[in-house]
Every structure is written in structure tokens, then in C-alpha cells.
A and B are shown apart, each in its own frame.
Chain A
Amino acid sequence: SQQGEEDPQALSIQEGENATMNCSYKTSINNLQWYRQNSGRGLVHLILIRSNEREKHSGRLRVTLDTSKKSSSLLITASRAADTASYFCATDEGGDMRFGAGTRLTVKP
């Protein structure tokens, strides 16, 4: 069963705009991870945020975690056409990582 659920399912923006994706989960976690998947490729790990952290940055990526609301968001600033991909959150439940169904991001040049 899926643990994290992303919202929206699909997002289309213009190059230069910011993109925000959300992830909700149901049980307590130790960490939450975000991955990117380009079409026809495997997942690539982007960032890990621990349950005692509220915000984390990596380049143009900003991840927040609100454990009281059991939710996380991924913000991509100044998006580029190369950011077009599917983005997945994954949470650890019983030790295994559980992946959501993903948000499909399209960045138009």
C-alpha cells in the first residue's frame, strides 16, 4: 500500500516559475525522501528530511516537513525545461520506503 500521496497529480508551468508539490502520509515516520524520475529512466534521489527537521535546501530545491499535519512540500524555484519529470515522495513505514504515485511536472520553455 502507498504511504505518501502526492498532490497535484500533474502540474504544468512556464520556465522560470516556481513549482510546488505536496505529499501527505498517514503514520509516523523517521524520514521522508523526494525522488525525480525522467521519462524512461530510474528514480534519482533528491533530498532526505528527517522527522526532527522542518526545512532543508539543496540548490533550487526546498523541502519542508510538518509532522503535526503529516505533510511535506517540495518547492523547485526558477524552474527549467530540464526539470520536466515525475516527482515522488517516499516515507519509511515499518522500515521499508513506501512511494507515492507521483506528481508529473511539465515545464514549458
Chain B
Amino acid sequence: NAGVTQTPKFQVLKTGQSMTLQCAQDMNHNSMYWYRQDPGMGLRLIYYSASEGTTDKGEVPNGYNVSRLNKREFSLRLESAAPSQTSVYFCASSETGRRNQPQHFGDGTRLSIL
């Protein structure tokens, strides 16, 4: 049971570079999420997808784009990385399209932008 798989686990970028974070789930879940976790703060929602082909902005979407490629995969793209985007990024999924249901998380991507 892989659950939610995120790649890569670690990445260092220079300011202005672009990058795509990959996420895949094998639980046949409908909803997928991208969060960022910064020290001393709770997780903040970047984008959400209730189903294939649909995406919605969360609390902190600026500087990010997402693609729900199919039911399994949900990618997060940084077009022009900035030091303020240094963070740990978590992908999560939940069974239904309702956003307040229990979520299953990947182990995160630790991203540093110099």
C-alpha cells in the first residue's frame, strides 16, 4: 500500500528557476490537495482538486499552478521560484469531493530556494 507518493523528496533551486512537484495516490480517491508547511505555522492550502479536470485556489495560491492530470496524479508547478517559497510541500488525498473529510498525506517535498 503506497498511499500518497511525492517526488522528489528534496530539491534545491535558484531564484527564478521553475520546478514541478509530482504527487500520485493509489487509493482511488476523488479529492487531492497541495499544502505548504512553514515553521511555527499550520499547513496552508495552496490548491485543491475535487475531481479530475477541476482545480480550485486555496489560501495561498500566488506563485503556483496545478494540474490534475488524471484521477491518480496532481502536480504543483512553481514557474519562477522565490526564496519565500522555501517550505515543505505536502500532497494529500481524500475519498470524497467534500473538503472536510479525513485526508491521507504523502511524506512531503523539502524545497529550498536560494
- Size band of the interface chain A makes with B: 20 to 34
Q: Chain A contacts of B86 at CB under 8 A?
A: none
Contact: B42 with A42, CB < 8 Å? no
Whether A31 pairs with B100 at a CB distance below 8 angstroms is yes
Interface of B, secondary structure class, is loop
> A89-106 interface mask toward B, CB cutoff 8 Å, 1 = contact, 0 = none?
010100111111110000
Counting CB contacts under 8 A, is B43 at the interface? yes
Given contacts A42-B90, A42-B106, 18 further A-B contacts (CB under 8 A): A30-B100, A40-B108, A41-B107, A41-B108, A42-B105, A43-B43, A43-B90, A44-B105, A45-B104, A48-B102, A88-B42, A92-B99, A95-B98, A95-B100, A96-B99, A96-B100, A99-B43, A100-B42
B4 located at the interface, meaning its Cβ lies under 8 Å from any Cβ of chain A in the complex: yes
A2-B100 in contact (CB<8A):
no
* Number of A-B residue pairs having CB atoms within 8 Å of each other in the complex: 56
Interface string of B44-88 (1 = CB under 8 A from A): 110010000000001100000000000000000000000000000
A33 contacts B by Cβ under 8 Å: yes
Q: Using CB atoms, name the residue of chain A closest to B3.
A: A42
Contact B107–A97 (Cβ < 8 Å): no
Complex: how many Å from CA A101 to CA B59? 16
Interface status of B103 (Cβ within 8 A of chain A): yes
The DSSP consensus for interface residues of chain A is: strand
Q: How far is the CA of A5 from the CA of B48 in the complex (A)?
A: 23
Q: What mask results when residues 38 to 65 of chain A are scored 1 for a CB within 8 Å of chain B, else 0? A: 0011111100100000000000000000
A1, CB-defined interface residue at 8 Å: yes
Complex CA gap A33/B90 in Å reads 18
Interface residues of B (CB under 8 A from A): 4, 35, 40-45, 48, 58-59, 90, 92, 98-100, 102-108
Query: Does B102 contact A101, Cβ atoms closer than 8 Å?
Result: no
Report yes or no: A95 in contact with B99, Cβ–Cβ below 8 A: yes
Interface contact B4-A42, CB-CB below 8 Å: yes
Instruction: Indicate if the CB atoms of B102 and A102 lie closer than 8 Å.
Output: no
Give the 10 A-B CB pairs with smallest separation, nearest first: A42-B105, A99-B42, A92-B100, A45-B102, A99-B43, A43-B105, A42-B107, A95-B99, A2-B42, A100-B42
